[in-house]
């Protein structure tokens, strides 16, 4: 087939990139080779627009075993235990085909984890949809939630935490980010680096079909009005087969058989074989006649670019083939030796006894394009919002409107579709500051959370990057966990737009600064560019997945009030920052001004102080203060515990809305019994930690002086109303 300009463009390659391919090959590529270059050189696989910025992120601390560059990150949690975790996007497939897009996103991230030798113990997600009134939103929401629940529930891994958000910026490009967490023996971690010559390259799992072809390339381009036509590029998942594959891989990992192992994810057989060979500085030869196919007359092009799910590529030690085959046949899975490692440093493909492609491995990997794209610094809108200039809204009206809004309504409609308790080790689940999973048969647990803040990142990408790392940090601390490390999924628009690239570059700097200061490194992650339709790009939406360790199961905390008559304390100073707040956005539809300042010293000091208080056992419950300010956090504490509050306005405040709706950072709400208050006060003063005593818990009412009074039951009903009404399940 003659390679034309249209064919080159249809593969997502620029004319100068095609010229580079010809130079690397010293000839024109054939159609198969062009497809392979297209798969490996797209944004999803090569990180060609992001790599120079990602290198700035901190990736190590004393607990990190494996940082970025492998299927997932690995951290040490003591007692020979390691936690393996990663988050990835499946945005484009989920917009086109919401059920399968979300389901295969879960399946893919699970394979990244158990490929490392870890048994998955938890799933999380961050899902973002357009305005609820948009004609597409309801179907997308229902499809994605069903897909996440369907896959996770069937495979038997608890979906323990997440976030569901709505914003018109996602009307034409939703975000579906899936995170998986696994437990492994730190001495039995498996990697993807190939070693040795003439070692068997083995295909295991499901058969290859025509689904998912060009999936990675599709995820590296903007949508247009023809996006529905891309449904064939969406993979089809089978959680029952994935369960078999996971058990077979984990069983084989108990033997001394595996040299390297790699999931066939984006770009399928192409990326898995190239990545393994590249890391080992080797070549790889594949006989495509041996690839198990579920459809007739599949071409080499289709086999190499298919993204059919539930498949792995394994390189075995000599003489281990028969033993390994028995395991996979026991689990009713394909096991075929399809090739071998070589010293050629080439990807060599045979089909019908002929060589159909020969490409240097480094041409597909280290010599892929690397762009230092032009970017412009964000022009900030420093306009201060003055409440006196805005329409007067009564405090109680403002509160009731926000607590019943889509983004602050109870998410039970979503989370109850997920099995959160399977495996029996979930201690805290969705709705808490962070989910907590007990390490089976051990007296310790891990805490996990996912967080994002698109409004902050849009208005000031650098501050927004810092803030979302700190939000993750606070959520872990609020359950009694020592934060260890993060994974990130960086969702942005078109990197060829200097403004978008500027948002990305500055956001990375913010994440870097916070991670370094808090000793909270990035160990894995994913970049998702080209999130937009017809040049309407989404807000920059980095999602942070955090993991922390709880060494003592007796020191686990949540945000539920425990007793009537306890004192309520705010740790951290409240300045009343309303720019970019829920209050201003929701009530006045204003998006001007800067996000709240992030003082990393205060963040660290306040967080470490809270951990000391938890260790001392003198507090009852705790909740971080985030979106919606003090009053929304108090409401969450009351609703979850069915205990009311009586709050007094601090005398020094000038405006009640600024104090209670302001979104100043580095703050926590603490419940402490009266007999422990003096101890608490002394510890805070001795450590120069600012705090306010704002009230106490009571039996029936959620009350703020004369400005707000509602029964806790009414508050609960109001908070639970929106999702049911939206989906026609009630009033």
Distance CA 639, CA 408 (A): 12
Torsion of CA 32, 33, 36, 42, to 10 degrees: -120
C-alpha pair distances (Å), 574 with each of 475, 608, 664, 681, 720: 19, 19, 6, 18, 29
Tokens of 179: 């995170």
Half-sphere exposure of 679 (CA within 13 A, CB side): 12
Closest to 510 (Cα-Cα) out of 468, 451, 543: 468
On whether the CB atoms of residues 158 and 215 are closer than 8 A, the answer is no
Query: Quick count: other Cβ atoms within 10 Å of Cβ 383?
Result: 11
Distance CA 157, CA 375 (A): 41
Closest to 529 (Cα-Cα) out of 373, 669, 416: 373
Distance CA 75, CA 80 (A): 11
Distance CA 179, CA 162 (A): 9
On whether the CB atoms of residues 583 and 658 are closer than 8 A, the answer is no
Closest to 308 (Cα-Cα) out of 335, 273, 272, 268: 268
- Residues 693, 695, 635, 590, CA torsion sign: negative
Note the Cα 49 to chain centre separation in Å: 20
Residue 206, phi then psi, degrees to nearest 5: -80, 165
Closest to 522 (Cα-Cα) out of 55, 5, 3: 55
Q: Which of 11, 53, 90, 623 is catalytic?
A: 90
Distance CA 687, CA 551 (A): 24
Active site residue 53: no
As beta bridge partners, residue 203 has 313, 336
C-alpha pair distances (Å), 90 with each of 87, 108, 473: 10, 9, 25
Distance CA 536, CA 301 (A): 33
With tokens 């369960």, the residue in question is 243
CA triple 369-375-376, angle to 5 deg? 175
Q: Which of 11, 44, 278, 460 is catalytic?
A: 44
Active site residue 214: no
- Residues 349, 355, 360, 364, CA torsion sign: negative
- Residues 247, 250, 253, 255, CA torsion sign: negative
Distance CA 561, CA 676 (A): 15
Distance CA 154, CA 132 (A): 29
C-alpha pair distances (Å), 296 with each of 210, 290, 301, 351, 355: 10, 13, 14, 15, 21
> Which H or E element spans position 714?
helix 712-719
Q: Report, as residue numbers or ranges, the catalytic residues.
A: 44, 90
């Amino acid at each position: 087939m003659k390679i034309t300009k249209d064919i080159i463009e249809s593969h997502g390659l620029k004319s100068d990139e095609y010229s580079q391919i010809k130079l690397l090959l010293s000839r024109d590529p054939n159609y198969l080779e062009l497809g392979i270059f297209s798969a490996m050189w797209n944004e999803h696989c090569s990180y060609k627009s992001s790599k120079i910025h990602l290198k700035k992120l901190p990736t190590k601390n004393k607990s990190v075993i494996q940082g970025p560059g492998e299927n997932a990150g690995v951290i040490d949690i003591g007692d020979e235990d390691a936690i393996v975790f990663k988050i990835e996007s499946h945005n484009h497939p989920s917009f086109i085909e919401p059920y399968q897009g979300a389901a295969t996103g879960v399946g893919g991230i699970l394979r990244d984890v158990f490929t490392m030798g870890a048994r998955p113990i938890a799933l999380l997600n961050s899902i973002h949809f357009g305005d609820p009134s948009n004609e597409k939103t309801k179907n997308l929401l229902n499809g994605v939630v069903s897909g996440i629940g369907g896959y996770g529930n069937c495979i038997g891994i608890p979906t323990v935490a997440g976030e569901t958000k709505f914003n018109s910026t996602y009307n034409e490009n939703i975000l579906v980010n899936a995170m998986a967490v696994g437990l492994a023996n730190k001495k039995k971690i498996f990697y993807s680096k190939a070693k040795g010559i003439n070692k068997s390259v083995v295909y295991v799992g499901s058969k290859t079909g025509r689904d998912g072809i060009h999936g990675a390339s599709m995820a590296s381009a903007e949508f247009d009005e023809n996006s529905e036509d891309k449904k064939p590029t969406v993979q089809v998942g089978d959680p029952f087969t994935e369960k078999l594959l996971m058990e077979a891989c984990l069983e084989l990992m108990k033997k001394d058989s595996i040299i390297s192992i790699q999931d066939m994810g984006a770009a399928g057989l192409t990326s898995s074989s190239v990545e393994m060979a590249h890391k080992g500085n080797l070549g790889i030869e594949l006989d495509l006649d041996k690839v198990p196919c579920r459809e007739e007359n599949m071409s080499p092009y289709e086999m190499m670019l298919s993204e059919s799910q539930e498949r792995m590529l394994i390189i075995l030690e000599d003489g281990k083939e028969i033993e390994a085959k028995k395991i996979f046949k026991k689990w009713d899975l394909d096991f075929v030796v399809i090739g071998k490692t070589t010293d050629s440093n080439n990807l060599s493909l045979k089909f019908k006894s002929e060589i159909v492609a020969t490409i240097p491995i480094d041409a597909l990997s280290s010599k892929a394009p690397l762009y230092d794209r032009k970017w412009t610094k964000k022009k900030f809108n420093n306009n201060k919002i003055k409440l006196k200039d805005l329409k007067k809204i009564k405090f109680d009206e403002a509160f009731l409107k926000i607590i019943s809004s889509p983004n602050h309504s109870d998410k039970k409609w979503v989370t109850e579709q997920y099995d959160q308790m399977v495996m029996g080790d979930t201690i805290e689940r969705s709705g808490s500051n962070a989910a907590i999973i007990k390490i089976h048969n051990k007296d310790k647990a891990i805490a996990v959370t996912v967080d994002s803040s698109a409004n902050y990142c849009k208005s000031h990408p650098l501050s927004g990057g810092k803030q979302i790392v700190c939000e993750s940090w606070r959520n872990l601390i609020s359950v009694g966990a020592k934060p260890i490390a993060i994974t990130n999924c960086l969702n942005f628009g078109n990197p060829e737009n200097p403004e978008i690239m500027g948002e990305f570059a500055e956001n990375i700097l913010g994440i870097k600064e916070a991670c370094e200061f808090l000793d909270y490194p990035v160990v894995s992650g994913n970049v998702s560019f080209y999130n937009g339709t017809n040049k309407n790009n989404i807000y920059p939406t980095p999602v942070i997945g955090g993991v922390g360790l709880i060494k003592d199961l007796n020191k686990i905390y949540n945000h539920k009030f425990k007793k009537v008559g306890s004192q309520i304390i705010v740790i951290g100073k409240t300045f009343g920052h309303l720019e970019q707040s829920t209050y201003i956005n929701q009530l006045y539809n204003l998006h001007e001004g800067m996000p709240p300042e992030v003082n990393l010293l205060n963040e660290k000091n306040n967080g470490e102080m809270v951990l000391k208080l938890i260790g001392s056992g003198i507090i009852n419950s705790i909740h971080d203060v985030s979106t919606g300010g003090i009053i929304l956090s108090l409401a969450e504490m009351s609703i979850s515990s069915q205990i009311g509050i009586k709050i007094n306005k601090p005398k020094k405040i000038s405006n009640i809305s600024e104090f209670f709706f302001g979104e100043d950072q580095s703050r926590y709400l603490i419940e402490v019994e009266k007999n422990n208050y003096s101890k608490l006060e002394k510890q805070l003063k001795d450590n120069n930690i600012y705090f306010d005593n704002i009230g106490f818990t009571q039996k029936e009412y959620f009350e703020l002086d004369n400005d707000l009074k509602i029964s806790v039951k009414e508050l609960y009903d109001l908070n639970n109303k929106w999702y049911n009404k939206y989906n026609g399940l009630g009033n």
